[in-house]
Structure 1
Amino acid sequence: MKNHSHRPLLGITMGDPTGIGPEIIIKSLTDPEIINLCTPVLLGDAEILKKADVNSVALHELVMTDDLNYDFSNCPKGFLVCLSSLNPDVTKLGGPTPETGSAMETYINTGVDLALSGAIDALVTAPITKTGLKLAGSSFHGHTELIAHKTGTDNFAMMMAGPRLKVVLTTIHIPLSQVPAQLTTHEITRIINLTRDTLITRFGIKTPRLAVAGLNPHAGEQGMFGNEEADIILPAVIKAQKEGVDITGPLPPDTVFFHAVEGRFDSVICMYHDQGLIPFKLVHFRDGVNTTIGLPIIRTSVDHGTAYDIAWTGKADPSSMKEAIKMAALQAVNQKRHGNRNGN
């Protein structure tokens, strides 16, 4: 049963129990601003979370059920769904085990199932590692691949989003030497359309202003430094313009992000990972959010890792988790206003 409060019901996965996920979640949920924005449904391990002081946020504890038929209607402060029973001492290990890897995958799968069923309005994920998933025997490298597979989604992309800058990646985790060969006009067109639709339905921007970064220095300088701009990127931009998209490019990568931060563009479409992530983290190192666009569910995440070196020391900064929760709530509200639960 779903919560009838005006606040979105957000599933929050605990992430790697040996990382900083539990700490940043509890720190976030003790912030009155966060509780005023949403009703949290924490998906994790009760004993682990007790070590992170879960009692300070007074969540209503629910036991795992096979049919996922949870009653989320009677506790305005939120819920804790217990999905594993790990030895609390795993928090001292400083890294994942097969047991913790299996548990973190269970949290994600349950969250996706709840979101697909409409029991929750969005999913927020705490950090995991591909090492943990591999130890558990998973065939997935991380959240994005796992959730895309589970939701049957082929048309998705990674957006890194903050108040001043949003970037979307055309290629992600591949060697830089392979990027030119992976770029196609069709793929760039797909990313353009997906970005535009997401900004409308989930960010509430009626007419998104998009920029496309070039691949080469000075966006190729009319072919002096490369032909990818003229041969591959520009045709995608022209096609989008003919379809009514407010889009500019390909623009020199060394200036486009400045103009975006200054408010000229709502999002920059980037050709490769570091092209987008370096300027993004320069601006939003502490408050950036990773959101997977194109999924039939809303999913946001912190933009950092498990930070084993400071896990369970009390030093973890919850800023990115707070922003991920805020963005999930924003997307849920905007999507409901747009009248389309699946968004894209």
Structure 2
Amino acid sequence: MAPAPAKPLALTLGEPAGIGPDITIAAWLRRRELALPAFYLLGDEALIAQRARLLGRSFGADVRVAAVSPAEAEAAFTDALPVVATGEHATAAPGKPDASSAPAALASIRRAVGDVRAGLASAVVTNPIAKSVLYRAGFRHPGHTEFLAELASSDSHIPQPVMMLWSPRLAVVPVTIHVSLHDALAQLSSDLIVSTVRIVAAELNSRFGIARPRIAISGLNPHAGEDGSLGHEEQTVIAPALKVLRNEGIDAKGPLPADTMFHEAARETYDCAVCMYHDQALIPIKTVAFDDAVNVTLGLPFIRTSPDHGTAFDIAGTGKANPASLIAALKLASRMAAANN
């Protein structure tokens, strides 16, 4: 078993009115049973304490919340859910985002990234955000992934964020991410495929411990273009990228028909499937691993994982939210941080 990371994980609040606080509390209650790595939540202690009292009745357990600094979080974790203040108060009731929601969610993300880059935490784990709420407050990014890339940017380096959805049964990466299908087709290029797969191969090696990652590359069109009769992108865009990657020693095969890549026997032949657009990658993993898939952002100078689901306003505060994906995200972040030490 890999050693535990030296620092706790920094867990963001997510949308305060969503299930982020709920699954955080539910995960903390199972910390001993599941031997979870120590983490602290970045948010408003009063809101978390209020949600803990509400959920305590559903869970049949008392949840103690402790205001701490990052340095105090690991020691506090055994007996209390550690909460590090961000300076932004959150007043949203379960299922009812309000004007405090966006500032609280964004402050939590910024502070988590700052803590990891300052060496106070070993990785960032993010709870779900509500993009519609953020957009109304002026948020200009398509999602978490792109915002994290901005926070990681410097004058000398602008990272390319790569979104991986990982589970023990399947790992997938979309080359184009949070754009319309029309825009995805316009963005797709040999250079983008090459740069994406390079990042995937490097981080499967360095952060997942796979010595020679096997990467399956999908086609774009039905039946991978059927030798050009159903589209030319396999020949003009994807095949040239594969040639570059293979010449660099990367074990990349394709372009493969996307409709035959994801059955059980096919999944045994690769470590990660790289697909051309969002739904081509996410539909299969959400079919085979809906409850325990983890969103991982590759290409950043820090580790970031996240549960692979949304804010679920309809069940926030009820105790019905399933913490399985957050638990998987915490465990994977710890594993990656330990491998990165």
Change (3 A) 1:208 1:259: farther
| Matching of residues 1-344 of structure 1 within 5 Å | 8-32=7-31, 36-53=35-52, 56=62, 58=64, 60-62=66-68, 70-72=71-73, 74-75=75-76, 77=78, 79-84=82-87, 86=89, 90-92=92-94, 94-152=95-153, 153-258=158-263, 262-336=267-341
TM-score (norm 2): 0.89
Q: Which moved more, 1:70-79 or 1:104-113?
A: 70-79
> How far apart are 1:169 and its partner, in Å?
0.8
Q: Distance in 2 between matches of 1:208 and 1:130?
A: 34
Residue matched to 1:341: none
State the identity %.
39
Change (3 A) 1:262 1:320: same
> What amino acid sits opposite 1:325 in the alignment?
L
Q: Which moved more, 1:72-81 or 1:160-169?
A: 72-81
Q: Distance in 2 between matches of 1:267 and 1:5?
A: 25
Q: Distance in 1 between matches of 2:231 and 2:41?
A: 49
Q: Which moved more, 1:134-143 or 1:274-283?
A: 134-143
> How far apart are 1:330 and its partner, in Å?
1.0
CA deviation vs aligned residue, 1:127-179 (integer Å, no higher than 9, x gap):
11122223433333432122110110432211111111111111112222333
Structure 1: gaps of 5 or more residues:
64-68, 337-344
> How far apart are 1:314 and its partner, in Å?
1.3
> How far apart are 1:17 and its partner, in Å?
1.0
Would you say the 8 A contact 1:122–1:298 is kept in 2? yes
> How far apart are 1:334 and its partner, in Å?
1.1
Tell me how many residue pairs correspond in the alignment.
Answer: 326
Q: Which moved more, 1:170-179 or 1:220-229?
A: 170-179
TM-score (norm 1): 0.88
> How far apart are 1:245 and its partner, in Å?
0.9
Q: Distance in 1 between matches of 2:63 and 2:337?
A: 23
Q: Distance in 1 between matches of 2:282 and 2:331?
A: 21
Would you say the 8 A contact 1:34–1:326 is kept in 2? no
> How far apart are 1:72 and its partner, in Å?
4.6
Residue matched to 1:340: none
SS state at 1:196 partner: helix
Q: Distance in 2 between matches of 1:225 and 1:72?
A: 56
SS state at 1:36 partner: coil
Q: Distance in 2 between matches of 1:73 and 1:320?
A: 22
| RMSD value, Cα | 2.3
SS state at 2:35 partner: helix
> How far apart are 1:33 and its partner, in Å?
5.3
Residue matched to 1:342: none
> How far apart are 1:301 and its partner, in Å?
0.6
Change (3 A) 1:260 1:125: farther
CA deviation vs aligned residue, 1:220-279 (integer Å, no higher than 9, x gap):
111111110011101111111111111110011111122676421100000001101111
SS state at 2:241 partner: helix
